[in-house]
Amino acid sequence: MKDIIVKGGYVYDPLSGVDGERMDIHLSAGKVVEEVPERDAKVIDAKGKTVMPGGVDIHSHIAGSKINLGRLLRPEDHRKDPVPRSKHTRGGVGYSCPSTFVTGYRYAQMGYTSVMEAAMPPIGARHVHEELNDTPIIDKAAFTLFGNNYFTLKYVREGDKEKLKAFMAWLLKVTKGYAVKIVNPGGVENWKWGRNVDGLDGNVEGFDVTPRQVVTMLAEANEELGLPHTIHLHCNNLGIPGNWETTVDTMDAVAGVKPTKGRKNTVHVVHCQFNALDGDSWMTLKSGASKVAKYVNAHPHVTLDMGQVIFTDTTTMTGDGPWQFRLHGLTGNKWVNSDVEMEAGAGVVPYTFKKNNPANAIQWGIGLEIALMVKDPWRVYMTTDHPNGGPFIYYPKVLAWLMSRKARTDTMLESNKAVMKKTSLAGNYREYTFNEVAIVTRAATAKVLGFKDKGHLGVGADADVSVYDVDPSKWRPSQYAEIERAFRLASYTIKGGEVVVKDGEVTSTPLGSTYWVKAETPPELEQELVKELEADFKKYYTVSFRNYPVEDAYLPTQRVVKAQGGVWK
């Protein structure tokens, strides 16, 4: 592979303290290096352009049974976005449930080089990894679902945190998962009896535990295991007006958890827009963003991502089965439910966010309010919860809204007036800088995920670089269309030291790696745990214990991240 010099661009590398300096980036053997000889290198002229580390998406649904249900449910979605093959790419379909190959191509075209699959049901892990292998270019990782797992609930009920930690380490290992995902803790278990939990202190049927206990114990166990990422939490009561209180209560429930060495945060609250609703009903719906942001600004243990709404037709899909049933009832749209044995659940419902719908307009405002009201960009990240708030291909639009008040105002004027009356967005003058964009799309996400070699361009970092055709010294917020254009199709995307996109066209399709986390467990404890698991597998599971783990063959380019080392009694 030829060395590369990205020459003369305006570099934004917040983790290295570089804020728009004109400088060269040298790449060799898949890494950022101090310097390579120019005569032997491929030189990319980045003069007048913006250079950033490759994007790192912290929360997206791109692989596995849930997205596949969406694909099956929505032939009409594929129809509107066929993607023909090209010299370097395969044909496929796009839009809200894109095919695996198109997912990889389109992320790379936007300058993203790492994407996290946010919900992997353990028994469906093989399927997830098979699809991740078919998602080219980008590096990937998948978050294993824990919040409604039979064994999680059992150990929480027994108050056996040591066994829970051992189980978490074991399940991450056998599913090749990267982080602990919790979706509507206890609610999805209750959904198996047609019910939900009514909040953080509701009862989980059959286990007599509360979501508060589940979240708190998983957060403590996560930090004691020293996992690279905190718990990745989809709160209870998602999508229900007035849910900001549940969200803040949930954040507060883990305020006392001691973070693992080297970080302050103990919880990442996902797609916060859906959990920052105020009011008593859809009729009285208003923004609860200021209340959530106020708490977050005062408590460093919390990080968030936006879950921004895009005004378009999309496919909602989540492990929160009861919420999806509720959404099906609200809209009358078609619905798929999936119960995942002893572990999780899911639902899929198509949805169209409309500008003239007051609730949708308010939701659009809330997402942006959260990003603009949380003062520290290192703790709020740009996502659409793809495809729930909207397809990831609209990220450039979200960036335009964040960077330009005029862009927000222009959209507000086309939207239902409720967004003016029920949110404070119109009075918010903050506009993200290029440096802040680099933080919320790559630097901070890489940092909070614990990727030491990603999200920056310091020596030793992965040679993942994005070059965008926009001159930050000349750009003004009124030119927001320029941002959309430039960030939609990168001038160059370099992945692992190889040019994969040039002038918005995919030029090469390397496989990309899959990351997973290995946490050590005392051997005697693991043996005891396995004995217990085997007994329950025999009684309750449809697969045998031996067939459960994902074999190494499913991860041809795996990268194992070791947890910091557990705190064991």
- Interacting residues toward other proteins by CB under 8 A: 73-77, 79, 84-85, 91, 333-334
Min. distance of Cβ 60 from other proteins in angstroms?
23
**Given the complex with other proteins, which of 25 and 97 has the nearer CB atom?**
97
How far apart are CB 69 and other proteins at their closest, in Å? 13
User: Nearest-CA neighbor of 327 among 348, 343, 306, 345?
Assistant: 348
Token pair 């980045």: residue: 46
Comparison of 87 and 569: residue with beta carbon closer to other proteins: 87
Six token digits for residue 239: 């999508």
Closest distance to other proteins from the beta carbon of 371 (Å): 33
Rounded least distance, CB 334 to other proteins, Å: 7
Tell me if residue 58 falls in helix, strand or coil. Answer: strand
- Closer of 79 and 421 to other proteins (Cβ): 79
Q: How far is the CB of 85 from other proteins (least distance, A)?
A: 6
Toward other proteins, which CB reaches closer, 85 or 261?
A: 85
Closest CA to 12 of 404, 342, 457, 534: 457
CB of 387 to other proteins, least distance (A): 15
| Closer residue to other proteins, CB minimum distance, 85 or 375 | 85
Task: Give least dist CB 87 to other proteins, A.
Answer: 11
Strand, coil or helix: what is 540?
A: helix
Token pair in block for residue 509: 């399709």
Q: Considering beta carbons, is residue 105 or 554 the nearer one to other proteins? A: 105
Please, which residue, 91 or 206, has the CB nearer to other proteins? 91
Q: How far is the CB of 68 from other proteins (least distance, A)?
A: 15
In the complex with other proteins, the residue whose CB is nearer, 336 or 530, is 336
Residue written as token pair 């006392």: 256
Compute the chain's Rg from CA coordinates: 22
- Residue 366 structure tokens: 């809330």
At 287, list the tokens.
């923004």
The nearer residue to other proteins, 91 or 256, going by C-beta atoms, is 91
Cα 538 to Cα 59, 129, 341, 541, 542: the distances in Å are: 34, 25, 13, 6, 8
Q: Please report how many Cα atoms fall inside a 13 Å half-sphere around the Cα of residue 85, on the Cβ side.
A: 6
Q: How far is the CB of 314 from other proteins (least distance, A)?
A: 14
Q: CA 124, 125, 130 angle in degrees (round to 5)? A: 105
Cβ neighbours of residue 140 closer than 8 Å, sequence gap 6 or more: 62, 63, 114, 115, 116, 117, 132, 512, 513, 514, 515
The continuous run of DSSP H or E covering 31 comes out as strand 31-33
Which residues have CB under 8 Å from 56's CB, separation 6+? 112, 113, 114, 115, 116, 441, 442, 445, 446, 449, 451, 454, 455
